[in-house]
Chains A and B, each alone.
Chain A
């Protein structure tokens, strides 16, 4: 009896599951006095509604089937939504790329062709009836061209 009280005290003073389980397995399960303090299977069973007394669950299967159908219906819808979103995003990226390309290198942009007047051509250069070498310089941001001619040595 004294031992049982000690076990009770130790059970409540240390609320650690493993310790409590140790006490249950070591003492309480095998002690008739401690077992008297526990409800028996019959006593516990009386508290619960038995399966036989329950009016059985009707229409579970149709409910499950309808829920399944709902889910099946929702899935393709969700998939379709994703496909549309993906296509729209792809189209947007393509369009954005096209616009950017147009703005970057479209007509009126990029390296402009020089006007006709600025074009000139040197067919041949001679110094003292001998062919000479020509060098053309065009400073950046300037309309001036320098032509340097020197006799071939």
Chain B
């Protein structure tokens, strides 16, 4: 059974078929989320949210589209939400630290190191660039497919990818030098 058949069965009321979909994509989605967020807990939350959203909006899915692209685009949005939440937390944390000065240095250090990305070079990229690069390198996506996930134009997706590749190359060269 392919994805579309499974989804059609699911829409007819056979919810167990969605379990097959989850089993099929959970590894890929977690890998993508982890590569964007760099934190296992956040990645798991984003994945759960993405699957849940996909399940509850299954009736809006266009069967002409690729399901994995649709799922990844939902996941990408949830990852951005997680990053936004994290940014808000860090702003709050910094403010608390500067105003009250109550947190110890070791605690502050642990917060800053809390979310290391798989590779520290990836920190230098923006979430869009990181996502584009990950989809291109790991999933083998083209600019058009990346655009579908990122919900932007193919030219914008190609630019994100180009910038990401260029930044990474120069960082790798600096590291080796």
Chain B interface size range: 35 or more
Write out the residue numbers on chain A whose beta carbons fall within 8 Å of the beta carbon of B134. 48
A47 touching B155, Cβ below 8 Å: no
B24-58 contacts to A (CB < 8 Å) = 26-31, 34-35, 44, 47-48, 51-52, 55-56
Write out the residue numbers on chain B whose beta carbons fall within 8 Å of the beta carbon of A24. 158-159, 162
A8-56 contacts to B (CB < 8 Å) = 17-18, 20-21, 24-25, 28, 37-39, 41, 43-51, 54, 56
A38-B166, A44-B165, A64-B48 are contacts. A54–B155 as well, Cβ < 8 Å?
A: no
Q: Which of A38, A46, A54, A61 contacts B27 (CB 8 A)?
A: A54
Question: How far apart sit A48 and B27, CA to CA, in the bound complex (Å)?
Answer: 14
Question: How far apart sit A67 and B47, CA to CA, in the bound complex (Å)?
Answer: 13
Question: How far apart sit A25 and B142, CA to CA, in the bound complex (Å)?
Answer: 13
Question: How far apart sit A50 and B153, CA to CA, in the bound complex (Å)?
Answer: 27
- Is B137's beta carbon under 8 Å from chain A? yes
Question: How far apart sit A54 and B155, CA to CA, in the bound complex (Å)?
Answer: 32
A63 touching B48, Cβ below 8 Å: yes
A49-B34, A60-B26 are contacts. A39–B44 as well, Cβ < 8 Å?
A: no
B165 touching A39, Cβ below 8 Å: yes
Nearest CB in chain A: distance from B160 CB, A: 9
- Is B91's beta carbon under 8 Å from chain A? no
Nearest CB in chain A: distance from B62 CB, A: 22
Q: Which of A17, A37, A50, A63 contacts B166 (CB 8 A)?
A: A37
Binding site for B on A (CB under 8 A): 17-18, 20-21, 24-25, 28, 37-39, 41, 43-51, 54, 56-57, 60-61, 63-64, 67-68, 71
15 A-B pairs (CB sep. < 8 Å):
A18-B155, A21-B156, A21-B159, A38-B169, A41-B137, A44-B136, A44-B164, A48-B122, A48-B134, A48-B138, A49-B31, A54-B31, A56-B30, A64-B52, A68-B56
Binding site for A on B (CB under 8 A): 18-19, 22-23, 26-31, 34-35, 44, 47-48, 51-52, 55-56, 118-119, 121-122, 133-134, 136-138, 153, 155-156, 158-159, 162, 164-166, 168-170, 172
Further pairs besides A20-B162, A24-B162, A38-B169: 13, Cβ < 8 Å: A17-B155, A20-B159, A21-B159, A25-B158, A39-B168, A43-B169, A43-B172, A47-B168, A48-B31, A48-B119, A56-B26, A60-B51, A61-B19
